[in-house]
Structure 1
Amino acid sequence: MTSKQLLSLFLIAFISINLYSNEQVCAAKKIQTMKASFPAAKISGYSVVVFDVDMNGNIKKPKVIVSKCLLKNKKTNSREFQDCGIFKYESINAAKFIKYSKPADSNGMPCELKNQKHEYTFLYDRENDLKFFEERSD
Structure 2
Amino acid sequence: MRYLLVLIMAAAIALPVQAANAAGNTASVGDSQDVAAPAPRKAKASHDKKQAVAKLQEVDSVSKALTAPNKSPALIVGTIVEKVDGQKNHYIVEDGTGRMTAAIGPKVLMGKNLAPGTKVRLKGRIKVAADKAPVMGVRAVHIIK
TM-score (norm 2): 0.24
Which fold has the larger relative contact order, with Cα–Cα distance below 8 Å and residues 6 or more apart in sequence? 1
The structure richer in strand per residue is 1
TM-score (norm 1): 0.25
Structure with the greater alpha carbon radius of gyration: 2
